[in-house]
Amino acid sequence: MAERRTLRVIFAALASVALLSLVAGCVSIPARGPATQGLSIAANASGTGFEVNPVGPGKGDTPAAILKGFIAAFQSSTGGYAVAREFLSTSFAAKWDPSQIVQVRSGNARYTPVDTDTIDYSFTTNAIVDSSGTYKSSNSPSTLEFSFTKQNGQWRISEAPNGIVLPDATFQRLFNKQALYFLDQGLQNLVPDLRWFPSGSAATRIVSALLAGPPAWLEGAARSEFPDGTQLTTAGSLVPIVGGVAKVDLTREAKTATPREQQYMLLQLSESLRRLSSVSSVAISVEGAPLVIDDLGATGPQVDPLVDSQALVYRKGDFGFYANDKVAALPQLSSKIPPLVPTAATLSTDGSTVAVRGGGGVSVVRRSVPAPLVLDTRPGLIPPTIDENGFIWTVPSDDVNAIRAFDPAGAAHPVTTSFPVDAQVTSLQISRDGARVALLLSSSTGPRLVIAAILRDSKFVPTGLGPLVVDVPLESGDATGVTWINETTVATLVGVGSQSAVDEFEIGGQRVQLGVLLAGSQSIIGGNGQQGLRVLSDDGMVYTYQGSSWQSSRVKVSFIATQR
């Protein structure tokens, strides 16, 4: 029965999931019993925070007090939620699985007695974190049913859904977001997938989730170099951190990895664990036998590569990096661009290629080729982009299902999609790892942000898009642009009357409003983090984000180009 109730709650919450919607603030669940009982807060010995020490059940507690104490005890995962299990009957305590799901709630929770030994606990679910740490925003009502029995004369919970419920503020304090790192199909770039784990067991859960391989939405776009079936050994089921070294003991499947694959395994583990302050390095062993692995170093895939901090612009007939009221030309590139009458451009990662939208459509300008090559002359093309394999992507604004990827030789390859036929696309941007794409659509219901993985064939030719990991409606207004802020976050630009709103969306995380410009705008271009964001207003003025507001740079340009 408990499993059926758990499924009912999960399905109800997921039915109205809107990925990456803003998680609202909330009110804490009251502690059990009188105000003097419940949770005590102790200073953390490290001085970096505080620990919650929940109080177990009291003698003579009513079912309502037992339930409130049980829910309050979710704030401590020590000992596998040992204190929370004290509120459960002996037979049920071993069956309850708190790791199956976390529901993040907002507003006031309600306790409703159903009969003498059953109480319903109701609240609004604002987000769900599953057992793998995947976060999905929601906005749906949830009701959990708890049954009670008397054990040695004291009330205890005899039946309850698996998982825990936390107020948003508590969730933010107890859970940390961590990026798991996989590899693109060509082993050239690291591809992140954001997860949320409780801080006390983060290292073990990060490694376990990494060994499970890429999530379904990244299948076909990212890979793992751990041999199939590799897991933590029984002896190494916990990842100890000794002197800053995370010790990862793997099962015998890992023995089949080549020396090069072992280097990628070490890279995946090191980058996935690097955000933990307690970890400075990783040591891998197989069934207790240490592996000696050389670090790939600077020759290997890098995390979230940076671009030039200067704006790449087209200004007064000159194309190049802007600084001190001057435009510095790109050798063997800039002089070829003005004849195309450019209106948008993207510079490749290696700086040798520029995709340009001009009066005759989209062309490619290469440093090694004397003349530009016209690729696409379809009307209504949006600004082009370039992926990490050198393919130039184009699409008309009125036909989002007509995306083409042009290879370095100029041949067009259709990219299969299945967006609504009435949708228009205003912006398409590929992540710097080349594995994911973000599109800002305009539909009959308003602007929509969608993000998916890029599927490729054995020669890395783009063939289609995977299932949408993000499909979220924005506020009413005019869809203007989308750009990547960093490896896990995008920013959207929506025109609202004579103003422009910018929002930040974390893939597998939350949504944050980045303020409003008191001006109409035509594009948004990413750089290095939030401070690298630039918005171009309708009158050609460049605006930059100063941490809490948008400020005019007092510099006017024709357009700002995207840097890969």
Q: Are 542 and 556 in contact (CB under 8 A)?
A: yes
Percent of the chain scoring above 90 in pLDDT: 81
Is the predicted pLDDT of residue 237 greater than 90, yes or no?
Answer: no
Domain of residue 394 covers 312-563
Q: Which residue has the tokens 């993207």?
A: 346
Give the dihedral sign, CA 82/84/87/91.
negative
Domain assignment present for 305: no
Summary mean pLDDT of the chain: 89
pLDDT confidence tier of residue 138, bands split at 50, 70 and 90: confident
Report CA 198 to chain centroid distance, whole Å.
17
Q: Which of 213-217, 276-280, 433-437 has the lowest mean pLDDT?
A: 276-280
If asked whether residues 139 and 223 sit together in one domain, one would say no
Q: Which of 37-46, 64-73, 252-261, 519-528 has the lowest mean pLDDT?
A: 37-46
Q: Are 174 and 165 in contact (CB under 8 A)?
A: no
Domain assignment present for 544: yes
SS3 530: helix
pLDDT tens per residue across span 449-477: 999 999 999 999 999 999 999 999 998 89
Last residue of a domain, one of 272, 299, 326: 299
Q: Residue 70's closest CA among 54, 90, 51? A: 54
Predicted confidence at residue 198, as pLDDT, reads 84
If asked whether residues 63 and 198 sit together in one domain, one would say no
For the chain, what's the residue count? 564
Distances (CA, A) of 258 to 57, 86, 227, 236, 334: 54, 48, 10, 22, 45
Domain assignment present for 256: yes
Residue type present at position 443: S
pLDDT confidence tier of residue 112, bands split at 50, 70 and 90: very high
Q: Residue 184's closest CA among 246, 259, 267? A: 267
Predicted confidence at residue 308, as pLDDT, reads 95
Is the predicted pLDDT of residue 174 greater than 70, yes or no?
Answer: yes
Domain assignment present for 304: no
For the entire predicted model, the pTM comes to 0.85
Backbone region of residue 332 per phi and psi (left: phi > 0; alpha: psi in -120 to 50; beta: other values): left
If asked whether residues 375 and 281 sit together in one domain, one would say no
Burial label, 34 (beta-carbon count in 10 A; 0-12, 13-18, 19+): exposed
Average pLDDT of the segment spanning 355-379: 97
Cα angle for residues 170, 486, 516 (degrees, 5° grid): 75
Domain assignment present for 212: yes
Is the predicted pLDDT of residue 10 greater than 60, yes or no?
Answer: no
Q: Are 493 and 480 in contact (CB under 8 A)?
A: yes
If asked whether residues 481 and 532 sit together in one domain, one would say yes
pLDDT confidence tier of residue 245, bands split at 50, 70 and 90: very high
Predicted confidence at residue 49, as pLDDT, reads 43
Domain assignment present for 307: no
Give the DSSP H or E segment for 407: none
Domain assignment present for 14: yes
Average pLDDT of the segment spanning 320-335: 96
What is the C-alpha separation between 84 and 163, in angstroms, rounded? Answer: 12
Tokens representing 305 are 């590569």
If asked whether residues 448 and 336 sit together in one domain, one would say yes
What is the C-alpha separation between 546 and 318, in angstroms, rounded? Answer: 27
pLDDT confidence tier of residue 202, bands split at 50, 70 and 90: confident
Q: Which of 36-45, 67-76, 365-374, 447-456 has the lowest mean pLDDT?
A: 36-45
If asked whether residues 426 and 283 sit together in one domain, one would say no
If asked whether residues 259 and 234 sit together in one domain, one would say yes
Give the count of domains, the chain: 3
Domain assignment present for 179: no
Report the CATH number at residue 457. 2.130.10.10
Predicted confidence at residue 52, as pLDDT, reads 67
If asked whether residues 438 and 535 sit together in one domain, one would say yes
If asked whether residues 66 and 94 sit together in one domain, one would say yes
Last residue of a domain, one of 174, 193, 222: 174
Q: Residue 175's closest CA among 193, 195, 197? A: 197
If asked whether residues 225 and 321 sit together in one domain, one would say no
pLDDT confidence tier of residue 548, bands split at 50, 70 and 90: confident
Last residue of a domain, one of 236, 270, 299: 299
Tokens representing 48 are 């970096």
Tokens representing 377 are 């002359």
Residue type present at position 129: V
What is the C-alpha separation between 294 and 279, in angstroms, rounded? Answer: 18
Is the predicted pLDDT of residue 21 greater than 80, yes or no?
Answer: no
Q: Residue 63's closest CA among 127, 159, 134, 187? A: 159
If asked whether residues 395 and 293 sit together in one domain, one would say no
If asked whether residues 500 and 395 sit together in one domain, one would say yes
